[in-house]
């Protein structure tokens, strides 16, 4: 009886194009990855797409990037969670674009909501946001405008969650000072 290959062994074989190793790795990890991602996102079809993209990336050469000794599951989780954050951001961008396009309806009068949103983009708040440092602006973009949690923003920005919280606090303080 042959011993069960380790995850690291499977990844090494996937890196050289071993389809059987890829299938074994997929069977071993796809279900738990999908389950964990579903705790972060209720859209099952989006989660399924993210899982497929994650494993497709491994097949297309991502397996060769594995350098950590041991924790393959954590490495795979980081890849999948980042892909989920990217997918949610893309989805949010499409929703915002649809909303922006709705502003150009054939009415000659603008609604109160339209006026407020245009004022945010081009008024005092827009200028104050532009004056934030890139690090603070990125945190505000991720947490406020994109609606990501502190943890998701940390993954997206590649910084610890505590740093996200600190930068958000500094950004709020600076914005309050400029808008007061």
CATH number for the region 107-180 comes to 1.10.10.10
Q: Spell out the long-range contacts of 82-85 with Cβ–Cβ below 8 A and sequence spacing 24 or more.
A: 82/155, 82/156, 83/50, 83/53, 83/54, 83/57, 84/37, 84/40, 84/41, 84/46, 84/47, 84/50, 85/148, 85/152, 85/155, 85/156
In the chain, where the domains are located: 7-102, 107-180
Per-residue pLDDT in tens (0 to 9) along the chain, 180 residues: 678 888 888 888 888 888 999 999 999 999 999 998 888 888 888 889 999 999 988 888 776 676 666 678 877 888 888 888 888 877 766 665 565 555 555 555 555 555 555 555 555 677 777 788 888 888 888 788 777 788 888 887 788 999 999 999 998 898 888 877
Q: How many CB atoms lie within 10 A of CB 140?
A: 19
pTM: 0.51
CA distance 152 to 157: 9
CA distance 145 to 175: 15
With beta carbons less than 8 A apart as the criterion, state whether 145 and 134 touch. Answer: no
**Quick one: CATH architecture of 7-102?**
Orthogonal Bundle (1.10)
């Amino acid at each position: 009886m042959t011993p069960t290959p380790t995850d690291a062994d499977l990844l090494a074989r996937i890196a050289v194009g071993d389809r059987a190793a890829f299938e074994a790795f997929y069977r071993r990890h796809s279900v738990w990855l999908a389950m964990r991602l579903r705790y972060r996102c209720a859209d099952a079809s989006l989660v399924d797409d993210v899982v497929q993209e994650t494993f497709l990336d491994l097949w297309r050469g991502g397996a060769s990037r594995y350098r950590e000794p041991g924790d393959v599951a954590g490495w795979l989780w980081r890849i999948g969670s980042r892909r989920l954050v990217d997918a949610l951001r893309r989805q949010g961008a499409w929703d915002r674009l649809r909303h922006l396009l709705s502003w150009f309806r054939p009415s000659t009068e603008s609604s109160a909501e339209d006026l407020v949103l245009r004022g945010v983009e081009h008024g005092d708040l827009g200028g104050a946001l532009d004056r934030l440092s890139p690090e603070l602006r990125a945190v505000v973009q991720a947490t406020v405008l994109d609606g990501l949690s502190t943890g998701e923003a940390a993954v997206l920005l590649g910084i610890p969650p505590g740093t996200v919280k600190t930068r958000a606090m500094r950004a709020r303080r600076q914005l309050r000072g400029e808008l007061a």
